[in-house]
Amino acid sequence: MTLHLSPIRNPARTLLILGVTAAAGLSLLAAWSASSGPKVLFDARCEAWDHAATAAVAELIADRSPAVEQRLGDVVFRLRRARTYCRHGFVGLAQLDYRALTDGRYAGYRLSGESRTAAQASGR
């Protein structure tokens, strides 16, 4: 003789299984939320760099030249990456991206190794 405990034939068992599963899921969710700890804050050393880079990016966005438009994707990527580095405490890596955003290379000053003054003299 085989004993079949089909959930359809035993609704009390179905409710019990659902209740236990829901309770286990909620307890796992609560434990996961509690273990995540406080949110990571933006490193204070990055504030001035981020302000300067944001201003540089705003100028680039206002520039409609095709050369600048081709670089906008990389510019936004670098800004987001620098901010992520600052949130996680990798200030040295963030500084590299912030420096790249503010040294003029995206405005066309450092194309092909040209100096900034040479690029300005040529009208870029």
Query: What would the DSSP string read from start to end of 34-92?
Result: HHT-SPPPPPGGGHHHHHHHHHHHHHHHH---HHHHHHHHHHHHHHHHHHHHHHTT-HH
In the 8-state DSSP scheme, what is residue 13?
H
Q: Is the pLDDT of residue 6 over 60?
A: no
**Average pLDDT taken over every residue of the chain:** 78
Query: What pLDDT is stored for residue 117 in this prediction?
Result: 41
Q: Is the pLDDT of residue 46 over 70?
A: yes
What is the pTM assigned to this prediction? Answer: 0.56
List, for residues 67-105, the tens digit of each pLDDT value: 888 889 999 999 999 999 999 999 999 999 999 999 988
Task: Specify the residue for token string 């963030």.
Answer: 94
Query: What pLDDT is stored for residue 68 in this prediction?
Result: 84
Every domain of the chain and the residues it spans: 9-37, 44-121
- What are residue 86's phi and psi, to 5 degrees? -65, -35
Question: pLDDT tier at 114 (50, 70, 90 boundaries)?
Answer: very low
